[in-house]
A = this chain, B = another copy of it.
Amino acid sequence: MPGLDPSALEVVPARHGKAVPLARGQTVKVINTHGTQVLDTWSFGRDDMREFMSMEHSRSFNSKIMLGVGDSYVSERRRPMLKVIEDTSPGIHDTLLCACNRYIYEEQGCREYHRNCADNLHEALSALGCTFPFTPGPLNLFMNIPVDPDHSIRRLPPASRAGDFVRLRAEMDLVVVFSACPQDMSPINGDAKTPRDAHYVVEG
């Protein structure tokens, strides 16, 4: 990836999650390395892990269902957590849909355990010695879910290209969790329905 110091690149492995502590003022550059990967994203306050990034509050706070550069995702206490500083992708991200969980894969016919974003969240937090009592609605970076005038939604492949990135700034001390979504039964991770690695760099 030209222009990046590869030694600073961290991976979110396909189908897995990663928890990333950020200090206030640091940014994280989230790279859609292959262009097709959705990253379910959550944030929690480091001073009080009960404070979580809320999509329903973020939609209310910004009076929009899709946030862009200059907008902030906020907690249920209405405090800005992550501010969008830069976005080289077409800016299509989803705030509407749940994280996939084991019940969804059972609904889709899976008889054996299927990795899923909800479990990835809790696994990733656990790796830092943290727990959280439920799965908040995620920010689905790069997920392409248009809402039609009849209020129906569609599940499309990401509109991003390989190497597109979003730069997010921590507005308070945070633990951010990314999950490289394991969904391989719908085209939300690309027409090949193949989850891929994504990468990130913490800056500042």
**Chain A contact residues, CB within 8 Å of chain B:** 52, 54-57, 59-60, 63-66, 76-78, 96-98, 101, 103-104, 106-107, 133-135, 137, 147, 150-155
Contact = CB atoms under 8 A, between A and B. Distances in A.
23 contacts: A52-B134, A54-B98, A54-B137, A56-B96, A56-B97, A57-B98, A59-B97, A59-B153, A60-B97, A63-B155, A64-B150, A65-B96, A65-B147, A65-B151, A65-B153, A76-B98, A76-B135, A77-B103, A78-B103, A96-B96, A133-B133, A133-B134, A134-B134
Contacts of A76: 98, 101, 103, 134-135
Nearest to A58: B98
Q: How many copies does the complex hold?
A: 2
A60 B98 contact: yes
Contacts of A152: 63-64
Nearest to A67: B151
Contacts of A66: 151
Contacts of A96: 56, 59, 65, 96
Contacts of A147: 65, 147
B98 A64 contact: no
